[in-house]
Structure 1
Amino acid sequence: MMDHCNDFLSWLDPDTSLKIFKCLDDPADLVRVSCVSRTWRGFVVENGLSKQLCLRMFPQLSRVACVVELNQNGVKGHTEVGSSRSMESLALWKDHRVFSYFARSCLSPDAMDCIAKAIGASSTDNFPQESIDHTLEERDNIAGRFSYWSSSGQSNPNVPETLTYQLASQICIITEINIQPFQAHFQMGSPIYSAKSVRFKMGHLKASLNDLADEMFVWTYTSPEFPMAQKFKLPEPVLCIGGILQIELLERVQRQEMDGLLYICVSHVQAQGIQLSPAFTVDILGPSGMFVLKRDHRANCQPSVTSENESGAMITDGDFQQIVTILRGHVMGLGAVDGWDEEEYEVDDFDEDNVL
């Protein structure tokens, strides 16, 4: 039987072969076919199939201007020398390595809370007793005091509120967001100060905080508007580039009996997902929103809290204080799996008559 088997790549035209390979939607399957032979591996690399798979998984990667590999000394690998053809081949292999590792890293089953700290709220009723910082604490009661954030009171139910957070990783995947509205057991009837609906935004800080004519963030993802619930499973996993999450709380429904004003209060916020730093980091390229995707060979994708002093789109202490001041001043909206190396692909060519 084996005498009559052949490699279909030698029988089909390139377009048909490409359609077949594009049916692979699991990164592990793409790695497996890359290990079949040098012919198959070359086909995968030359057609950028690993990159195309990542783009299908996360459309936000369409903003990647280029990818960079950092070697053991923390500098760019693969000095670009030689003919333009050899340089193009090196670039294809580099893209293949980075995007293959990226796709595999995104399948880690180890989801965790990705929020590192609160940046600020659009308003706060009593600061700091009811600040946004309390939403990072899972307990509703600490040392005999209720732990929650409260907006300022409004007579207009349509005045929205926003809660803005910095994530623990410069680049991460968010799959689920949990919000616990606050129930005021110390008030008559134990009212729940919830919003009617909610929306999520993810993105990065602008290159400069000096230009405040517009918002200080660039949003690369905005969710649909969801009816308020405690758990929100996003329609698809979202790649957050830049590490900023904003929660928009829309329409007030609970009026406080004491002053007759409408409030929104939240006890706890959690963003479940996968942190891709330190194995991957990004450099935002100015106002264009394009970014450089960097893979560091010295690190794997085990969850880690990224240092606030890391270069790129992370927020410095000065930036953080300025953002908090701005957000308090007005209401926003009004007006780990280990990777693999190329050595694993180093398989000998075989007799193509014995394939499949």
Structure 2
Amino acid sequence: METCMDFLNWLERDMAIKILMCLDDPSDLVRVSTVSRSWHDFVIESGLFKQLCLRMFPQLSSVARVIESSCRMREPADVGSSSSMEWESLERDHKVYACLARVRGCTSLAVRNCISLAISASSTDNYPEESIDNTLHARDIIAWRPSYWSSKGQSDPAVPETLIYKLVSDLCVITEINIHPFQADFQSGSPIYSAKSVRFQMGHPKSPMNLESDLMGAACQQSADDKFVWTYNSQEFSMAQENRLQKFELPEPVLCIGGILQIELLGRVQRQEMDGLFYICVSHVNVMGHSLSPSFDVQILEPSGKFLLEYCPEASNYSPEDEPCARSGVPILPTDLEQQINVRGWEQILIMLRGNPPEVEDNEHDDPD
């Protein structure tokens, strides 16, 4: 302390990165960026926010390049200079991944149902009366009829079934999936046709397609699993044979790149009395999380399967009922979260993301928090 030396200058670069990557809160990494110009540049050069995002969302390892859609992009200081172009790319990555890391922190406060449409079921007993579309409705009775999806009957209870859904955008952060098994009150004993367990996969189409024309209609009666690439596979969750909406919380929030979710229903527990076959029936499904659109979007690079991550700072990740607009290209957080964070901390975040770290000042009398 007496010599006032910068400890980053005394450490090997790899050791300094290892120490700073012990910070798992994006706000702490922002504070590191605002200590001084040299610390700000070190965070950018080392891609610390990118590394933090990869730790939060391993699915981002498939991102080949980050692009920014903005009319206010800063021009490089020396046009044509490879060093200036490289620095501009580092700054862009820093800004985009900083915003993405910050969005991840508010998933628990902005969750909503992210299903856009039902794509297909591996089998359907009576189409369209018992189609997968019925699982989009929370009501048990629609037009005086029970609302549910039913598989075809099987003599082997180990035969699985799958349900595939399109999410509201190609980039969604998913925290949990809820499934309500169907109880057939019109059958003797009111049996519940649940599965033994469930597993979830998320991914993207193998090639560009119009989901409504290519997969809807007759395709709803058969599996479309071969048309998708799955980039996330969950653990297996046990399902109870109970007439209620059952919550399956993912161990960590998952970034679904491509906007496709598949539910695997594994094992059958209920035999139908009239034909002696095993069925799985679901009355309702919802997928909880939130969309990163329109601030973030992806483009699939064929045939590599890599992605371009696109960021639009003028867009807001939240609808008008959440917040009126975005400020300085940083996605707005819900009011209840924003109130928990020190105002000065937000000012530092905005300054850092503009690329102008503050002058070092005497903080001796500042509140330590």
Letter in 2 for 1:220: T
Task: Using the TM superposition, give the Cα deviation of residue 337 of structure 1 relative to its aligned residue in structure 2, in angstroms.
Answer: 3.4
Aligned position for 2:6? 7
C-alpha separation in 1, matches of 2:74 and 2:195: 50
Deviates more, 1:199-208 or 1:295-304: 295-304
Q: Is the 8 A contact 1:194 1:254 kept in 2?
A: yes
1:248 corresponds to which of 254, 264, 271: 264
Q: Is the 8 A contact 1:279 1:300 kept in 2?
A: yes
Deviates more, 1:201-210 or 1:102-111: 201-210
Task: Using the TM superposition, give the Cα deviation of residue 144 of structure 1 relative to its aligned residue in structure 2, in angstroms.
Answer: 2.6
Structure 2: stretches of 5+ with no match in the other structure: 215-222, 241-245, 321-330, 334-348
For 1:263-278, what aligned pairs fall within 5 Å after superposition? 263-278=279-294
Aligned position for 1:233? 249
Distance change in 2, residues 1:160/1:348 (3 Å): closer
Tell me if 1:346 matches 2:326.
no
Q: Is the 8 A contact 1:201 1:246 kept in 2?
A: yes
C-alpha separation in 1, matches of 2:62 and 2:314: 25
TM-score using structure 1 length: 0.83
C-alpha separation in 2, matches of 1:102 and 1:346: 20
Task: Using the TM superposition, give the Cα deviation of residue 340 of structure 1 relative to its aligned residue in structure 2, in angstroms.
Answer: 4.4
For 1:90-129, what aligned pairs fall within 5 Å after superposition? 90-108=88-106, 109-129=109-129
Report sequence identity in percent.
60
Task: Using the TM superposition, give the Cα deviation of residue 50 of structure 1 relative to its aligned residue in structure 2, in angstroms.
Answer: 0.4
Distance change in 2, residues 1:105/1:303 (3 Å): farther
TM-score using structure 2 length: 0.80
Q: Is the 8 A contact 2:270 2:280 kept in 1?
A: yes
C-alpha separation in 2, matches of 1:343 and 1:268: 42
Letter in 1 for 2:280: I
Question: Could you say what the CA RMSD is over the residues aligned between the two structures, in angstroms?
Answer: 2.7
Task: Using the TM superposition, give the Cα deviation of residue 6 of structure 1 relative to its aligned residue in structure 2, in angstroms.
Answer: 3.9
Aligned position for 1:205? 205
Aligned position for 1:63? 62
Aligned position for 1:22? 21
Distance change in 2, residues 1:351/1:226 (3 Å): closer
Letter in 1 for 2:103: S
C-alpha separation in 2, matches of 1:284 and 1:247: 23
Letter in 2 for 1:254: Q
Task: Give 3-state SS (helix, strand or coil) of 2:17's partner.
Answer: helix
Aligned position for 1:222? 233
Q: Is the 8 A contact 1:70 1:77 kept in 2?
A: no
Distance change in 2, residues 1:5/1:341 (3 Å): closer
Task: Using the TM superposition, give the Cα deviation of residue 107 of structure 1 relative to its aligned residue in structure 2, in angstroms.
Answer: 1.7
Task: Using the TM superposition, give the Cα deviation of residue 351 of structure 1 relative to its aligned residue in structure 2, in angstroms.
Answer: 7.5
Task: Give 3-state SS (helix, strand or coil) of 1:281's partner.
Answer: strand
Equivalenced residue count is 320
Superposed CA deviations along residues 275-308 of structure 1, whole A, max 9, x for unmatched, are 101100000011321000000122021159xxxx
Structure 1: stretches of 5+ with no match in the other structure: 305-335
C-alpha separation in 1, matches of 2:235 and 2:262: 13
Aligned position for 2:318? 302
Superposed CA deviations along residues 249-285 of structure 1, whole A, max 9, x for unmatched, are 1111111111111110001111111210110000001
Tell me if 1:337 matches 2:332.
yes
Distance change in 2, residues 1:214/1:249 (3 Å): closer
C-alpha separation in 2, matches of 1:225 and 1:213: 21
Superposed CA deviations along residues 150-194 of structure 1, whole A, max 9, x for unmatched, are 111111212211110000011011110111100111111110001
Task: Using the TM superposition, give the Cα deviation of residue 196 of structure 1 relative to its aligned residue in structure 2, in angstroms.
Answer: 0.9
Distance change in 2, residues 1:263/1:348 (3 Å): closer
